[in-house]
Chain A
Amino acid sequence: MPVATVTDTAVRHRLKGWWAGLDEPVSIAPLVTLRVVLGGLLLFSTARFWALGWIDDHYIRPGFHFHYYGFEWVRLLPPSGLYAVHALLMLSSLLVMLGLCYRLAALAQFLLFTYTELLDLTYYLNHYYFVSIACAMLVVAPAHRAVSLDVWRNPALRLTHVPRWTVGMFKLQLALVYGYAGLWKINSDWLLHALPLKIWLPAQDRLPLIGPLFRFTETAYVFSWLGMLYDATIPFWLSWSTTRPFAYVVVIVFHVVTGMLFQIGVFPAVMIGATLVFFSEKWHRRIWRIPNGESHAANTEWRMPIAKSVLVVHFLFQILFPWRYLLYPGNVFWTEEGYRFSWRVMLMEKAGTAQFYVRDGRTGREGLVVNSEFLNPHQEKQMSMQPDMILQFAHFLKAHYEKKGVADPVVRAEVYVTLNGRPSRLLIDPAVDLTLLRDGWGRKAWILASER
């Protein structure tokens, strides 16, 4: 088959060219921006978390924590340890920002931040997931080799150029975050019914200037469509120099408005900061006063051969993992099988009431659990609509009441969930003994259909 062979060779040739192209020298300046912005934001965000008393509220006070599947081994430190972790996280973020002892600081920043995220599934947020990924990328990127205290101490470290992939990985990651966020908005509730914005916006009618607009259904439609178009296309507008200045203004307006509308913490600042990476090399160079170097090649002696291969695996995962929901039957919004780690953001209004029953296997006497005895309001809210968390809580209840003298506890739950304002329905089979079930990748057959 000579034709196929010729094509094969051509493809291989092009691939090789592309692979080599990833090492082409580009200015280090965008990396410096990212280092300073992400380090600074993490420092601020951790200080804010501490100041709001959330270390205590989120981690110390609750008697029970929901774990991430596969990360059950992550242990909660005693209170002093948790405060130490947050103090060290702030210190490492400061060092990352300044570019001092950079590799170690960036590694510590990544590990400590990710550790705090893994402590309780309740607080899972897509933007924390993004921050974790960006922190991991900072560990690999040579972002300290210009405009940093490390370079000031050891000028031999100074670089003006770095391989293209070190900047490109941040752009691709951002494009995926936005792209998927936009893609998942293409559904009938979001576009045709303006849900959940139709619920959320009228509740914000007291905002200055734009508030009164939210009383009109039309506003929810406009916001839904613009939100979808923004997410799906903004990476393109940012990549193209002609549209970039306008697109960045849109980025700022969009994130500031969503920040005012919703309780989303530092997230708007993270996106407004991170998207700066799309700006031209010249723009970043001017900020940091980095010369454009005489010989590009000579200035790119920094190499990390294995990193490119690891990145290919990472991005394959990033591209494929969000689609796993297709392997499960039913509506992903309802079952949440394959919902997380897929950049589904602000997509639905969902809430539930979960009544657990614990039956003494010997006497048959059944009692009603008061969730707030064990969980804080945030934990209870999240648990009451997510099957895997319901299962974890049921197992906790079994162990708890076994210790309290209930023999062979049978735990079942009547969970009513409302999705996008529809009348609530039973989420799971209320008769099934949850203690007999184990979480896993498999389909959860005990979840009832959303439409019956």
Chain B
Amino acid sequence: MKIQYLLLLLLPFFACDNSGSSSGNDFDRRAMLEHYGQHIIQPAYGTLGSNTEILKTQSDAFATGLTEAALLQARTAWRTAYESWQNANAFNFGPGGEEGTRKSLVEEIGLFPVSESKIESRIASGAWNMNDFDRDARGFLAVEYLLYGKNQSTAEVLNAFQVSPNRRQYLNDLVQNLVSRVSDVRTAWSAYYPGFVANDGTDVGSSTSLLYNEFVRSYESLKNFKVALPLGKRPGQVQPEPQLVEGFYSATSLDMIKRHWASVEHLWYGQDPAGADGPGFREYLASVEGGDMLIGQTEAQMAVVRSALAAVPANQSLSELMAAEAPEVVALNDELQKFTRFIKSDMSSLLGIAITFASGDGD
């Protein structure tokens, strides 16, 4: 009797004997986290930090000089800094995440559209606070609004600064706020890094889960808020709302979207800013069963999105194209949507990464 039961218990050991080649998963998540932390995230904040400091220098020079040349230089510095933000906008956890009343970095400095009326009324009153809830009156895109103006010539923008000390002061405070928020996160990362690497599980709150979730969120914000919303593709919208594009005042939207998309691709491949490849999500997926298939599907759709992006005419501003519901932009929206499932549900499912805190069904 008992012998039979013992044999029954041993059954699985025989049963799995013929499972053949064990695809022993020896992917080193710690090495992946080291790579992301050392070669991607911290350098991204580093570049962003130095570019915001250059922006500070240029906007200071403009505020004292108040010349058209200085304004143009400040604009160039803004553009460079905002371009580097596209490589750093996906790391809204840890030092870049929410803490107490401080929102995540993307909400603190990357919010759009900005509220023109809030900005103007603050300037008019001469009273403002860089820590209140009006995040749509500060950040990169408030600086953009001030430097470029809305449908204004360079001379008009220049004049607005010349006649208003408050305007100059507000610009100064906005840029200073940018510099210090970025610098806070950048500094905090060196202390955060060892823990980031050590927390190498896959449960909720693990570095892999945080990094992955924010990666997906960054992609979704690109799709939902930079493309679908201004294109009028949200339910209830009766027409495009091109003024909602990112970089509306500087007409840099398409370029920023391209850079944002490129950073999504870089994160997928685990590529550093120089384009050097290291262990990233792609390599992690390749180490699990079914991963190669998903990599193939993901990268095929990535190529489609890339060519959809390339097909959008660059000689016209994106807001104009959206207003006209240009077929190239509609196609871009569709192709972005098709990409979602690969990195959202398929990838987390294959890797077994936890995405919510609540208890599951155990036994």
Contacts and interface: CB of A to CB of B under 8 A. Distances in A.
B22 A217 contact: yes
A11 to B, nearest CB: 30
A202 B25 contact: yes
Interface residues of B, number: 56
Interface in B243-280: none
Main secondary structure of the interface of B (DSSP, over half): loop
A405 interface: yes
A417 B345 contact: yes
A378 interface: yes
Where chain A touches its partner, the secondary structure class is mixed
A252 to B, nearest CB: 15
B238 interface: yes
B195 interface: no
A78 interface: no
Contacts of B235: 357-358, 366-369, 397, 401, 404, 406, 409
Interface string A326-369: 00000000000000000001100111110101101001011111
B241 to A, nearest CB: 12
A199 interface: yes
Given A218-B16, A368-B235, A401-B235, A203 B356 contact: no
B184 interface: no
A215 interface: yes
A182 to B, nearest CB: 9
Interface string B336-359: 010011001110111111111111
Interface string B296-333: 01000000000000000000000000000000000000
A19 interface: no
B363 interface: yes
Interface stretch (B7-15, B57-65, B132-140): B7-15
B361 A125 contact: yes
Contact of A421 (B29, B200, B350): B350
B233 interface: yes
B299 to A, nearest CB: 14
A351 B22 contact: no
Contact of B12 (A216, A225, A397, A424): A225
A363 B363 CA distance: 51
A349 B355 CA distance: 13
B165 interface: no
Nearest to A53: B357
B126 interface: no
A401 B234 CA distance: 11
Given A123-B358, A263-B358, A268-B362, 6 more contacts: A199-B349, A204-B202, A217-B23, A353-B340, A355-B337, A423-B294
Interface of B: 8-9, 11-13, 15-16, 19, 22-26, 29, 200-204, 224, 228, 232-238, 288-290, 293-294, 297, 337, 340-341, 344-346, 348-363
